[in-house]
Structure 1
Amino acid sequence: MTPQLKEKILEVCNKKIAQKGANVGISFYAFFKNKNDNPTLLMEAATWWIETHKLDHFEKAIKIKELIKSL
């Protein structure tokens, strides 16, 4: 996983947890704007989320944060 994506995921998870609490759920789309301005990074996130970890569409932000920190 690229440092750029790792940093973005941690940033979004921390923000969502601070706003909505430890039980907030997110999908990998939360790491991107509503337009596809970086398809390579989007595919990297999708591959990591879906193929590598076989995660559900929505997962707890805290779980994603811990997975990223373990890399």
Structure 2
Amino acid sequence: MKASLRQKIIEVCDEKIAKKGPTVGLSFYAFFANKNDNPPLLMEAAQWWIVTHELDHFEKAVKIKAMVEAMA
């Protein structure tokens, strides 16, 4: 996974956790604008989320953040 995508995921998770608490869930779409302006990056996130890790559509932000941080 690209470093820029890892950083974006961590930032979004931090924002969601700060606003809604540690039980907040999100999908990989949370890391992108409503307008799909970067299809290759969206597909990279989808591949990691769905194929590589077989995650549910919604997962806890703290779980996703921990998984991404463990990659570094």
TM-score w.r.t. the length of structure 2 is 0.98
Q: What amino acid does structure 2 have at the position aligned with 1:35?
A: K
Q: Does residue 39 in structure 1 map to residue 39 in structure 2?
A: yes
* Aligned residue pair count: 71
Counterparts of 1:45 and 1:57 in 2: how far apart (Å)?
12
Q: Aligned equivalents of 1:41 and 1:7: distance in 2? A: 13
* 2:17 alignment partner AA: I
Structure 1: runs of 5+ lacking an equivalent: none
Question: TM-score, normalized by length of structure 1?
Answer: 0.99
CA distance in 2, matches of 1:37, 1:61: 23
SS of residue matched to 1:49: helix
Q: Which runs of 4+ in 1 moved over 6 A?
A: none
> Which residue in the other structure is 1:23 paired with?
23
Is there any run of 5+ residues in structure 2 with no aligned partner, and where?
none
CA distance in 2, matches of 1:27, 1:36: 15
The amino acid that maps onto 1:63 is K
